[in-house]
Structure 1
Amino acid sequence: MALIAALYLIGSNRNIFSNTIKISSQFYNVNGLIPGNNVRYAGIDIGTVEKIKIENDSNVTVYMIIEKNNSIYIKKNSIASVGTDGLMGNKLININPGSGSAPTIEEGDVLISLRPIENDEMIRTLNTTNQNLEAITEDLKNFTSRLNKSRGILKLIEDSVSADNIRQTLAVIRDAAVNANNITLQLNKLATELNNGKGLAATLIRDTVISYELKTTISNLQQTSDSLNLISQELSQFSKQLNNKNSLLHAVSADTALAGNVKDGIENLKLSTELLNENLKAMRSNFLFRRYFKKNP
């Protein structure tokens, strides 16, 4: 029996007659690794697995016997991983070379490990990825189909009533911008007279609170004027892009929901600018400011 045991140990590369050191590494899963399997470094067998110990439900320690004459090439920052000898061969431990100027391993060192790739998990991941790609492909097909069948914003623009609304809105915005700009100029003129103490308005508006509110109003009107000019330019550019069949906006505009949002936005913008014009008109009629504004024909 002793002879059989000795032959088994020799056949299993247990390194019983060589000068060795013992090291270990901890793994989440050893994938069928057993004592006696080879330990390989840079493609060369340098030792064997001595024993395997389950520490807890997520940690398995593998103890290895390494030939000492080969251990001088293994650095402390080398990485151990569970591999296979060939495509269908026995499991083994692969030690990947470390880097830098790290010292070489010593008796009792613990190497960091690389979690092995599990075939079942990889297949499940690939299957999930394939299903996701199928779903994405189907969504793209549906999106393309909707682009081909739906008119969306293009239909909205071609509709004569909608087109008229857009043109009217642009006109209202431009008028509001001009009015706001003119009123701002006149209010600046008024502010100059106030500073010089001239006119009835100067007497009534010497109060610091009213003066501050007037300055704030002038500043807000200037910002409103600038904003309206910018909106007018952007809407004009938007209209040009819609008419350009080569633009991305033209392609995306087939979405019906987006068309509805644009239509609602245009209507809200039109109402807002009309309200601004009414407020500006009321300011023109105020007895304090009436003489500073030219009457519209």
Structure 2
Amino acid sequence: MSTESNKRSVIVGIFVVLGFLIFLAGVFVLGGQQKRFTRSIRVIAVFKDVAGLKAGNNVWFSGVKIGTVKRVSFFSTAQVEVDMDIEQSSQQYIRKDASATISSDGLIGNKIVLITGGTPNHPEVEEGDRLRTQEALSSDQVLETLQENNRNLLRVTNDFKALVGNIRRGKGTVGAVLTDSMVADNFKRAMQNLEKASENTASVTRSVSRFASKLNSPGTLANELVTDTTVFRRLSRSASKLEGVANSAEQTVGNLSQTSENINRASEKLNNTNSPLGVLLTDQETANNLRATLRNLNSGTVLLNEDLKAAQSNFLLRGFFKKRAKEEAKRKADSTAAKN
């Protein structure tokens, strides 16, 4: 009986020891997960809404768990203060200008605190520092946004469905193009014309390119006209001279016109029987009288010459004519001597 009691006592003792060891292991495991046995500092953040955050929830920084929420309490009428225990080993990476926000572990998981931001220009956080906070979207707001997006997507889908239906029924320009063969043929012809126009444009471009290459070829007239200022000045002077010649020709034509007009007026006067020249040219009687007068003048001239010859033979006038003849001979001799 005593032997069985001892066995039972030993077994019970073994189970008690195993249970105690399991209990200790659980305490250490849970304490390790809750960062109960690591050195930490206290950091504070004040939110307007913690969205169900409670003590024991995790604190994350850059995707790494660095602490837990120690206490959640009201700070004022519409604010909540959250005390967090942060591992001291992570203190050097968190700066005083970092910010904290409420998030969730997954879509519907536990609430967590996310610490983000911070620049190296600021010092690291210390015991009792208060971080800036950013208000995050709550799950209700996210669901409301998703519902609004779904409604918008439904409206877009309905509009697209109506558009496709109108196109299939041939409504609108696109529907006409897709369903009406005549419109399709016109569109094809328009595209062909556009292609031809493109080819013509390319041909013109090549021609312009060849012309430009000729302009750039040294020694050609086109290149000299574009680049040589001397040739340009010569052409300018030639153009000015041609312009002067054109002006002179215009003046000559004007003078010829004036001369022709004067000749016409003179011809009219010659043909006019009231003018003296017209009478001389057109009146036969006047012409006969003029001829008779000229015959009489010729006869008078002959008689006058005979009278002069007779006067030279007269002894009264002979000395005058001899003296005049001597003076004329002397004048001719002096003129001949002066020439020699």
TM-score bracket, normalised by the shorter chain, equals: 0.3 to 0.5
Which of the pair has more CA radius of gyration? 2
Question: Going by fraction, where is helix more abundant, 1 or 2?
Answer: 2
TM-score of the pair, normalised by structure 2: 0.36
| Greater relative contact order (CA < 8 Å, ≥ 6 in sequence) | 1
Q: Structure 1 length normalisation: TM-score?
A: 0.40
